[in-house]
Amino acid sequence: MPSTEWHIPFEMQTSQGTLTFNQGSYPRFNLDQAGCKARRRIRANSDDIPQGDGEVFHKRFSGGYEMTLVVQPWLSENQFACPGLEISGTSVVTMRDELYGHLWALLHPDDDGGRVIWTPTGEANRMLDAVRLLDIADPRIDAETGQVVFEFTVDTPFPYAISEAQTVTSFGAFSSGTAGNNGNVEFWPVIKMNGDGGLIIDNTTGFQILINSGCLGAGSYIEIDCFRMTAYVDGDQANAKPCVDVQSTDFFAIVPGGNQISTTVSCDFLLNDAWA
pLDDT in tens, 145-172: 889 999 999 999 999 999 999 999 999 9
What pLDDT does 174 receive? 98
DSSP-based three-state secondary structure for 48: strand
pLDDT average, residue stretch 229-246: 97
- In the chain, what percentage of residues exceed pLDDT 90? 90
Q: How many CB atoms lie within 10 A of CB 101?
A: 14
pLDDT in tens, 11-36: 999 999 999 999 999 999 999 999 99
What pLDDT does 241 receive? 96
DSSP-based three-state secondary structure for 156: coil
What would be the CATH architecture of the domain defined by 167-275?
A: Sandwich (2.60)
Q: Among candidates 261, 264, 223, 227, which has minimal Cα distance to 244?
A: 223
What pLDDT does 142 receive? 86
What pLDDT does 68 receive? 98
Confidence of residue 257 (pLDDT cuts 50, 70, 90): very high
Task: Report CA dihedral (206, 209, 212, 214) to the nearest 10 degrees.
Answer: -170
For the chain, first and last CA: distance in Å?
A: 5
DSSP-based three-state secondary structure for 84: coil
Same fold, 10-163 and 167-275: no
Q: Are 140 and 80 a contacting pair, CB within 8 Å?
A: no
Statement: residue 144 has pLDDT above 90? no
What pLDDT does 143 receive? 86
pLDDT in tens, 167-210: 999 999 999 999 999 999 999 999 999 999 999 999 999 999 99
pLDDT average, residue stretch 240-259: 97
Distance CA 121, CA 15 (A): 28
DSSP-based three-state secondary structure for 11: strand
The neighbouring-strand residues paired with 91 are 86
Return the domain boundaries, the chain: 10-163, 167-275
Q: Are 254 and 181 a contacting pair, CB within 8 Å?
A: yes
pLDDT in tens, 52-106: 899 999 899 999 999 999 999 999 999 999 999 999 999 999 999 999 999 999 9
Pick the CATH number of 10-163 from 3.40.50.10300, 3.40.50.1820, 3.40.50.10800, 2.40.30.200: 2.40.30.200
Q: How many CB atoms lie within 10 A of CB 196?
A: 19
What pLDDT does 1 receive? 57
Q: Among candidates 154, 178, 152, which has minimal Cα distance to 167?
A: 178
Distance CA 224, CA 263 (A): 14
